Structure 1
Amino acid sequence: MKINWGFGPPKEPGEKGGGRDTAPGGESNSEQHTWTGGSQLATRVVVGLLWAALIAGPLALALQVLVPESRPVVRQDGYVDRIGEAAAVSEFAERAVVAWLETPGEQSDLLRAYFGDLGQSRPDIPWTTSGSAVAEIVKDDTGLWSVTVGVDAAEGTPPPDAAPAETPETAETPAATETPAAETDESGEDGDAEATPVQRITSGRLYFQLPVLYVDGQMIAQALPAPVPAPAEFDQLASAYDHGLAADHPAFARVANFLSAMLVSGDQASLEAYSSPGTSFRVLNPVPYAAVRVDTIVAAGGEAPSAEPSDGETVEVQANVTLSGSNGEQIGAQYALALQAREGRWEVARLRTSPALAEPVPLPEPAPVTTPTPGTSTSSSQGPPSTEPTREAGTDAPEGSTTETP
C-alpha cells in the first residue's frame, strides 16, 4: 500500500530516504521534489527584489540632487528666466529687419512670414545690409519682446539709365542747403546763432526697434520696424590707476617678461617663472604676434610699488602695450594685472577681467513698488470714500479715535 503524506510522491519499493535506487534497466529512478525547488526559487526572487529596492532608493536620491531640473527658473516676483525664448526672438527679429530692408516691392509677399498682413510700403530698389546684430532685447509690460537691431545699411542705387526720382512737393520744400529761419527765444528776441542744416546719410549704422510676439515657439512681428536712435553713449568711469612706474622699476621688467612669454615666445616655463605659485596662466597657442612692447605701466594706490617689497604685498597695475603682427602692423592693447610680492620680487598673481575703478559702477534704480495701504479697497467698483483712522503730527489722539479727512 502506497501512502502519500503530502511530502512528495509515494515511495516505491527499494527507495531509501525518499530517493530511488537504480532500476534493473540501468536508468536512475531518483526524483527531485518539485515543492522544494519552487520554494528556493521564490526565496531568491524575494531577496533580489529587496536588494533592488535598497539600491534604487539612494540612487534615485542621488540623481535628484545631481541632475539639474529642466524647468525654467522662477523668482519670487514671478519673473521667468527663459534664455532660449530670448535667443529665438533675437534671431527672428534680426532676420525680419534685414528682410524688411532688402526685399523689393515686387517680392513683398515674402515678408508675410515675418509681418503677416501688416500694410507695407516697399521700395522698388531695396536697401543693402551687412553686419546685423541685436543691440537690445527686453520684455515689456504687455508681454511682447521689444528687440533693437543694429545693421549697416545703404540706400539702393538706381541704374545709371534710370531717371532721377522726383521728391513729392519739391517746389514747396526749401532747398537742402537753405538755412531755416532763426526762431525767436522766449524773450522775443531773434537768436544770433544760425541753425545748422540737417545732415542726412545714405549709408551707415542704423537701428530699428521691432515688437515680437512669442507663443509656444511661434513668432510674428506685431508691427513694422521703427527706426530709433543709436544707443546712448556713456562716459567712462574714473580709473584707479594714478601712478606711473619708471621703466627701470623691477615690476616693469617682470610684467614685460610675463607678457612676452604669453604673447610672443609661447614659452610656458618662462610664463610660470614670472607668475605666483598656484596660478594657471597659459600661453597663446598658436602665437599670433611677432613682438610686444610695453609702453607704460600705471599702478593704483597713489604711489608706486616698492622696488624691494615684503612678502605678501599686492598692487594693481595696468600695462599699456603695443602688439606687432607678422606683417609689421601694430595694434594697442591693455592688460589689468594684480601683482604679489614673494622673496623680494613682484610676480603676476592674477589677470583681471576688468580694470580697477575709482568709482562704483552705477546700477539701475529699482522700479518703485506700490504697497497697498491696509484697509484700502482694491476693487474697481465705485463706492463712497472710506474713513480711515489717521493721526496728525503733533496730536495725541486717543487710540481707536478717527479723524475725518477731506
Structure 2
Amino acid sequence: GPPEGLVKRARRQRRADKKQLIEAEVWDEEVQEAPEAESGSDDTGWQTSTAHLSGITRLVRLGVWVLVASGPVLGLMAFVGSSGPAQGIAKPTAAPTQASPVGPAGFAELFLSAYLQAGQGTERDLAPYYSGSVALSVKPGSRTATQSTVIASREVQPGYWSITVAADITAQDDKGKSRRLGVQYFRVGIQAAGPEGAGGTAKSASATAGYTATSLPAQVAAPAALKPGALAYESDRGSSSTDPAVDTAKGFLAAYLTGTSELDRYTSARERLRAISPAPYAEVKVTGVQDDSTSAGQQKVPADGTVLHQLVQVDATDQAGSPVSLSYALTLKSRAGRWEVASVDDAPAIRESSAPSAAPHTTTNADAGNSGPSPSGS
C-alpha cells in the first residue's frame, strides 16, 4: 500500500477540506437569512445580491467536495509517481565477472607433483586428482619435482581449463643416484565445479567447489626464449667515484643492503624508503652504472628537479663471505646541488614501444631432458 506518510497527509487534507466546507455552508446560510439588498450601486460601484452570493457559495462548496473526494486518489498517484523509476536514469547493471584460474591452477600443480612421484603399484595415489583408469610402468619415486609453478592458464570452455605447469625435475636411478633433468613443461586439463571465483560456472558464491583432471598430464615444449627490448639507459658511467650520481647510488645501496648507515643521507625528506631488515649483506661493491642522461659527464649536479634514471650493478657479500650479483633500477632527483634517491623502481626502464624479440636457441643438457618419457609411461 501507499507509505504511511502519504496516508497521513491525505487524511490531514480531507480534514482541512471538510472544515472549509462547513465554513462555506455556514456562510451560505447567513447570506440566505440576510435581507435582500436592493439593486443598485454602492460607493465602489460593485453590484451584489443575495442570489449572487448564494451561487458563489454553491460553487465553493462543490469545489471543496471535489477536493475531499479526490484526496485518496491524489495520494495514490503521488505514491506511484514516487515509487516509479526516475526518467532518464539508466538502471545499474552488474558488471560481468570472469572465472578465476587460481583454483584450477593450484589443483593442476598438485596433480603434476603426485603424477611425477607415482609409479607401478601406487596408481591409487592419483585417485584424488584423476578417476580414470591408470597403469604406470615407471618405478615409484624415480622422478620428483623439486619446484613447480603454473606459467599459463586458459579456459577452454566454461568451467574447463587448460593449465601449463613448469617443473624442475630430478630423476633417481636404480642405484639411488640423483640427476637433475632440468625444467620440463606439462599441460593438464582440469574441470572445475562451483562458483566463478573458484573457476566454476555457478553464479552463487556459496556453491561447493570441486576439481578433477580429465586425463594424465601431457609433456609439451618449452615456451619460446626471448631477448629483452632495448633498455632506456644509454650512457655507461662505469663505477667512477667522481660522478656525484654514481656516488649517491653507492652510498644508498650500501645503506639499503647492509644497514651500516642511514638512508636519510641519500633520500629526500618526502620519500619513505626503508632499508632491508635484517640486513642481508655485510658489504656492497658497485661494479657498473648506466643512466639515461644525454650529457657527456655528470661532474656537476644540474638544476633542482632534474630526474635521472639509473641501472646499477652490484656485488654484495653476505655474512659468510659469499658474493651475490644484483641489479637495481633507481630514480634520482636533484635538489640543492646534490642528487637524492627518489625511488627504487619496480623494473628497469625500457625504451618506448620496445618489444622483446626471439632469442637464438642453444641446446643444453636441460633441453635434452625435455624429451623424457611419454605421459602414458610416466
TM range, smaller chain: 0.5 to 0.7
CA contact (8 A) 2:259 2:276 kept: no
How far has the Cα of 1:362 moved from its partner? 4.5
Provide the C-alpha distance between the structure 1 equivalents of 2:344 and 2:281, rounded to a whole number of angstroms. 19
Higher relative contact order (CA 8 A, sep 6+): 2
1:296–1:320 contact (8 Å) kept in structure 2? yes
| 341, 346, 353: which one aligns with 2:346 | 353
Measure the CA separation in 2 of the matches of 1:241 and 1:330. Answer: 25
d(CA) in 1 for partners of 2:259, 2:125: 54
Q: 1:344 aligns with which of 337, 345, 350?
A: 337
- Of 129, 134, 148, 1:132 maps to 148
One of 110, 134, 152 as aligned partner of 2:125? 110
Matches within 5 A, 1:194-209: 203-209=181-187
1:144 aligns with 2:160: yes
Query: Structure 1 residue 233: deviation in Å?
Result: 1.0
TM-score (norm 1): 0.55
Gaps of 5+ in 1: 1-72, 161-200, 364-406
Give 1:227 deviation, angstroms: 0.3
**Residue 254 of structure 1 corresponds to which residue in structure 2?**
248
1:108 aligned partner, one-letter code: E
Structure 1 pair 159–356 and aligned structure 2 pair: CA distance change class (3 A): closer
* CA distance, structure 2, for counterparts of residue 251 and residue 159 of structure 1: 58
What is the alpha-carbon root mean square deviation over aligned residues? 2.5
User: Would the aligned equivalents of 2:229 and 2:355 in 1 still touch at CA under 8 Å?
Assistant: no
SS in structure 1 opposite 2:128? helix
Unaligned stretches of 5+ residues in structure 2 = 1-92, 195-208, 357-378
* Structure 2 letter corresponding to 1:311: D
Alpha-carbon distance, 1:324 to partner: 0.7
1:315 corresponds in structure 2 to 308
Structure 1 residues 347 and 154: CA distance shift in structure 2, 3 A: closer
Q: Amino acid of the residue matched to residue 211 of structure 1? A: G
Give the CA deviation at 1:93: 0.7
Q: Please name the residue that 1:51 is paired with.
A: none
Within 2, Cα distance between the matches of 1:285 and 1:350? 18
Confirm whether residue 271 of structure 1 aligns to residue 288 of structure 2.
no
Is 1:293 the counterpart of 2:285 in the alignment?
Answer: yes
C-alpha separation in 1, matches of 2:264 and 2:300: 21
The equivalences for 1:156-235 within 5 A come to 156-158=172-174, 203-216=181-194, 217-235=209-227
Residue 143 of structure 1 deviates from its aligned partner by 4.2
Counterpart contact for 1:93–1:149, Cα < 8 Å: yes
Q: What one-letter code is carried by the residue in structure 2 that aligns with 1:210? A: V
Is contact 1:291-1:323 (8 Å) kept?
yes
Q: 5 Å matches for 1:378-397?
A: none
Task: Decide whether aligned partners of structure 1 residues 120 and 232 sit closer, same or farther in structure 2, where only a CA change above 3 A counts.
Answer: farther
Instruction: Among all aligned residue pairs of Structure 1 and Structure 2, give the percentage whose two residues are the same amino acid.
Output: 27
